[in-house]
């Protein structure tokens, strides 16, 4: 993803998150690659 973004093939990188463990989301966000998160909240 980072290479595709640096080459201009994609403009923004995001994810849809459905894992019940918030630590997984924190790890993904700490990569610095994600600019958008769609989060399920019930």
16's tokens: 């849809």
pLDDT at residue 1 in the model: 83
How open is the CA angle 24-38-18, to the nearest 5 degrees? 45
pLDDT at residue 41 in the model: 80
- The domain segmentation of the chain, as residue ranges, is 2-39
Residue where the block lists tokens 């923004």? 12
State the Cα–Cα distance between residues 9 and 14, nearest whole angstrom.
Answer: 14
Q: Which residues pair with 14 in a beta bridge?
A: 36
Tens-of-pLDDT digits for all 42 residues of the chain?
A: 889 989 999 999 999 999 989 999 999 999 998 999 999 887
Distance of CA 18 to the CA centre of its chain: 12
């Amino acid at each position: 993803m980072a290479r595709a973004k640096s080459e201009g093939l994609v403009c923004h990188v995001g994810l849809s998150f459905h894992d019940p463990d918030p630590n997984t989301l924190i790890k993904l966000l700490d990569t610095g690659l994600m600019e958008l998160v769609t989060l399920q909240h019930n």
